[in-house]
Amino acid sequence: MSKRRILHYLNQFFGQIGGEDKADISPMIKEGQVGPGMALNQGLKEVAEIVNTVICGDSYFNENLDEAKAAIQNYLDEVKPDLVIAGPAFNAGRYGMACGHVAEVAAEKGIPVITAMYEENPGVEIFAKYAYIIPTADSAAGMRKAVPAIINFVKKFIETDGEVGSPEAAGYFPRGIRKNFFAEKRGSLRAVEMLIRKLKTEEFKTEYPMPDFDRVAPNPPVADISKAKVALVTSGGIVPKGNPDRIESSSASKYGKYKLTDLLEFTEDNSETAHGGYDPVYANQDADRVVPLDVVKEMVGEGKIGTLHDYWYATVGNGTSVANAKKYAADITKDLVADGVEAVILTST
């Protein structure tokens, strides 16, 4: 059997181009293996070979999605690989999103994709149906375990001609794809047995797991909003004109804190949106459509709201990991409490 030909996708860091200063480089293709691809290729040498490596900056891919995906399509047509490996991306949100989009493009061409990410990387939830995503640690410190896991999975994929088995058996995140199979017992009997185990408080496993949602208890209502200090916070990406903190359009790695005291309203001249997940035209024309600064200022003037906090806080929710979102919320909340803020108007898109 001839070796399978693999195309490997890497970001600018693992592609050995540079760090964040090179995150805006456009896609490029190189012959052979680069960075972690060398270890992958060594482990797969009996069954496969990484023939080319595509490298792209994380910021470029997420901020120029159409162009980046078109480049990936062209590289796939040029190389005609049997498989695509993307990453591993660990918990790097922008990298995970880029790997996911690569998988989406390859899947449309019928090319299997194998990648690896941390469970909280937004790429897992959004792109699992397009790729086999192998769990990793949350940082590149887990590379020594991630590489062998990818190698073993690729070997199994090739040996079984893609019939790797269930996520539990093969070690990848569930893809939301159902497959029919013949069970030893009919469904009604399995359901009754499951119910009996549950009633006996014995261990059981459902065949249809439900989503696990965070339950956050609501705070008590503000006693008197006409005397309260209120703050504006948004995940809709509303930032000062020019986006001075360079908050990313997807998988934001930061949030911004910006002064409000000299503003009566948002305008085209003083603000814009950094968000890459919705049409920015109307938000750029009047950011009050996303963060209602003008109305809140009016309500303060009318005595309906006590005072407005001197700053607004902004990040981009598009593709941002749950872990980062929680961290931003904790940091912002600490700041607001220290400044005596009693209520927050929290807006999205």
What is the mean pLDDT of the segment spanning 77-95?
94
**Residue 230: predicted pLDDT:** 97
Distances (CA, A) of 259 to 239, 268, 271, 311, 314: 10, 17, 12, 4, 11
CB of 10 within 8 A of CB of 87?
A: yes
3-state class (DSSP) for residue 243? coil
Percent of the chain with pLDDT over 70: 99
What is the mean pLDDT of the segment spanning 103-126?
94
Distances (CA, A) of 313 to 54, 63, 251, 253: 36, 22, 17, 14
Residue 33, pLDDT above cutoff 80? yes
Residue 213, pLDDT above cutoff 80? no
CA distance 330 to 333: 5
**Residue 177: predicted pLDDT:** 75
**Residue 214: predicted pLDDT:** 74
What is the β-pairing status of strands 83-90 and 4-11? Answer: parallel
Helices assigned H by DSSP within the chain: 36-44, 58-63, 65-79, 93-108, 122-127, 143-159, 167-170, 187-199, 281-285, 293-301, 322-338
**Residue 296: predicted pLDDT:** 96
CA distance 70 to 296: 43
**Residue 169: predicted pLDDT:** 85
Residue 72 main-chain phi, psi, to 5 deg: -60, -45
Q: What is 4-170's CATH number, 3.40.50.2000, 3.40.605.10, 3.90.1150.10, 3.40.630.30? A: 3.40.50.2000
**Residue 1: predicted pLDDT:** 59
**Residue 41: predicted pLDDT:** 96
Angle between helices 65-79 and 93-108 in degrees, nearest 10: 50
Rg, the chain, Cα only: 24
How much is the pTM? 0.69
Residue 333, pLDDT above cutoff 90? yes
Reading the block at residue 335, the tokens are 């700041």
Per-residue pLDDT tens digits for 278-326: 889 999 999 999 999 999 999 999 999 999 999 999 999 887 877 788 8
**Residue 202: predicted pLDDT:** 92
Q: Determine how many CB atoms are found less than 10 A away from the CB of residue 336.
A: 19
What DSSP element (H or E) covers 233? strand 229-234
pLDDT band at 238 (very low <50, low <70, confident <90, very high): very high
> For residue 228, which of 126, 140, 307, 119 has the smallest C-alpha distance?
307
Helices assigned H by DSSP within 200-302: 281-285, 293-301
**Mean pLDDT of all residues in the chain?**
92
Report domain extents, the chain. Answer: 4-170, 225-347
What is the mean pLDDT of the segment spanning 251-262?
90
What is the mean pLDDT of the segment spanning 163-183?
84
pLDDT band at 215 (very low <50, low <70, confident <90, very high): confident
What is the mean pLDDT of the segment spanning 47-71?
94
Residue 26, pLDDT above cutoff 90? yes
Per-residue pLDDT tens digits for 123-159: 998 899 999 999 999 889 999 999 999 999 999 999 9
